[in-house]
Amino acid sequence: MNQLQSIPSTEAAAEDWWRGAVIYQIYPRSFADSNGDGVGDLPGIAARLDHVASLGVDAIWLSPFFASPMRDFGYDISDYRAVDPIFGTLEDFDRLLARAHQLGLKVVIDQVYSHTSDAHAWFRESRASRDNPKADWYVWADAKPDGSPPNNWQSVFYGPTWTWDARRGQYYLHNFLSSQPDLNLHNPEVQAAILDVTRFWLDRGVDGFRLDAINFAMHDPALTDNPPVVPGTGKRRKPFDFQHHLHNQSHADIPAFLARVRALTDSYGGRFMVAEVGGEQANREMKLFTQEPDRLHSAYGFNYLYADSLTPALIRETMTLWPGEAGEGWPSWAFSNHDAPRHISRWAAGRDPEAVARLTMLLLVALRGNIFLYQGEELGLPQAEVPFDRLQDPEAIANWPETHGRDGARTPMPWRAGEAHAGFSIVEPWLPIDAAHVARAVDRQEADPGSMLHFARRIIALRKQEPALRTGIAHMLDVPAPLVAFDRGAGDDRLLCVFNLGDESADYPLPARWRTIESTGAGERLTPLGGFIAKAS
C-alpha cells in the first residue's frame, strides 16, 4: 500500500470537513409539505431535519428551490437570488440554514451555471435584439441558408439543441429543454454575473455547491458538427444517443472558469464544491475538473447511477479510477438520486429488495470518496410506480414508453404509515405515493430496531468512527466473482471489506486476528447479497 500523508491539523481538518463526508440529498418538492398544497417546501424540510441529523450524516444537499417556471422542476431558473413561492421565502431558507447548522449539518445547494429559464430577465433582454447589452449573454447563431439549425447537435431530452427565435431572427442553443437556453460562459461578463450569484449565497452562509451539468457550461464556438455513433454500439432511445457529444459540451476552457469559482469559495473558508459530471467523457472530466489545488473539491460520478446491474467489474473500475495519486482530486459516489431510477429496483433483478438495500448501504459506506444518500435510501425505498396519467417529468412524457423517466425516484417521502398520503401532506401530493413506500414509512421503521433505518444509522456511524473508511486509501483484492473484496487503510488501522453480489452462498474465511465489526447476511458463509467489514485486532 501507498504511504499515507501526515494527519492534518485540527484547523485543516475543519476546512476539509467534506473529505469522506456522508451527504444526504433532499429533493424539496417531495420531502415534506408544511402548507397543505401538495408540494414540499423549505419550512417542511426545516421541520424534518431532526430525522436527517439522526442518521449521522455530515451535510444536506438541496436540489433547486429557486424562482422558476418549473418546466424542469427548478433546473430552469428565472432568478438565481430568489426562492420560488411554492417553496417559501428567502427568510424560510435562512431559518432552514440556521436550523441545519444548529444540528451540526452543513448545507450544500445546487447551482446551475450552464443555462437559465427562458423567463430569466437576462434572456428576455438578450432575445430582444442583436445589439442590446446582453445580446451575447446566450448562445445565438444564424440559420443555414436553407433555414435549418446551425449544426446537428441534439439535446439531452429530445430533438435538436436549437430553437428559432423570431425576435432575433436567429437560433438559440439549449442542451436541455427549449425553455432552458444556454448561457454563453465564454463571455467574461456572464462569468462575472455567475460569480456574483455564487457570492450572494456564500454571504448567506451556505457551506457549498453542487454544480449541475457543469460539463455543458461551454460549447465549441465554431459550432462543429458532432460525429455520429456507430450503429449497433448501444441502444438509442432518443436523438441524443445517436452522436458523440464532443462539441456541444466539454470545452477546454471550463477548468479555467472553475478555478475562478474555486478562488471565490476559498476566500470564505471551509466551503465545498462538487461537480455533476455525466456522459461518455465523464471519467476524464471528473479528473480534469478536480485536479488540485485550484479546481473543484470533488466530482459526482454517474458510474453507479445509470448502471443496470451491480457487478464486481463496475466496483473495480470505479475504485481504480481514483488511486490517490499526487494532485488527484477526490471522488463522490451515489447509487440513487432524483435523475436515476432507485438502485434497489435497478439491481434487485428479482431478488430480495431488503437484502439489496442492506448490502448496497454497507458497500456505499465502504467506498473511498464522499458518498451521497438520496432521501428514502435509508428506508430502502424501491422505485415507485407512477401511472402515465400522473407523470410530470417532460423527459418521461416525451419518450414514453422507452423510458419511464425520473418521476418514480421523485415521489414524496413516506413519514407516517397510518396517515393520509403517508404524512407528507394533508392533500393529494404532486406525485402519487406508492403503497410499497407507505409500508416502509419512517414511523414504522423507527419502531423496529431491526429495520433498514436503524441499520443505516449504525453503519453511517461506523464510517464516522473509522478513519480508514472516511479518508483511508483503498486497495482491491484478487477474489473470484461474484465476490468483491478490498481493504481500506489509515495509519495503522486496516479494514477488510467483502461483498457477495451473487445468488449463491460463498466462502471467504476471515484471516487470523481479524474480527467482523459490521455485516449483513454474513455468517460462517457469505449468503447471497451478504457482506462484512472486518478489522485487524
179 vs 349: CA distance, rounded Å:
37
Give the contacts of 237 (CB within 8 A, at least 6 positions apart): 399, 402, 403
The three-state (H, E, C) secondary structure of 394-441, written as one string: HHHHHHCCCCCCCHHHCCCCCCCCCCHHHHCCCCCCCCCCCHHHHCCC
Torsion region of 303: left, alpha or beta (phi above 0 gives left; psi -120 to 50 gives alpha): alpha
Query: Which one of the listed residues 72, 165, 276, 339 is annotated catalytic?
Result: 276
Q: Which of 157, 129, 158, 163 is nearest to 143 (CA)?
A: 163
- The grid coordinates of residue 484 equal 468483491
Q: From residue 511, how far is each of 296, 449, 495 by CA, in Å?
A: 40, 31, 12
306-337 burial code (b ≥16 CB/10 A, e <16) = ebeebebeebeebbeebeeeeeebbbbbbbbb
- The grid coordinates of residue 480 equal 473470484
Q: Coil, helix or strand for 8? A: coil
Give the contacts of 206 (CB within 8 A, at least 6 positions apart): 97, 107, 108, 109, 271
Query: Which one of the listed residues 84, 212, 377, 487 is annotated catalytic?
Result: 212
537 vs 513: CA distance, rounded Å:
5
Q: Is 11 a catalytic residue?
A: no
95 vs 107: CA distance, rounded Å:
12
Strand 370-374 versus strand 473-476 pairing type: unpaired
Give the other-Cβ count within 10 Å of 165's Cβ: 18
243, 224 in Cβ contact below 8 A?
no
Q: Residue 405 is which amino acid?
A: G
204 vs 96: CA distance, rounded Å:
12
Torsion region of 478: left, alpha or beta (phi above 0 gives left; psi -120 to 50 gives alpha): beta
Strand 483-490 versus strand 473-476 pairing type: antiparallel
363, 318 in Cβ contact below 8 A?
no
Q: Is 212 a catalytic residue?
A: yes
**Angle, CA of 407, 413 and 417, to the nearest 5°:** 125
Dihedral Cα 142, 147, 153, 156, nearest 10 deg? 100
User: So which residues are the catalytic ones?
Assistant: 212, 276
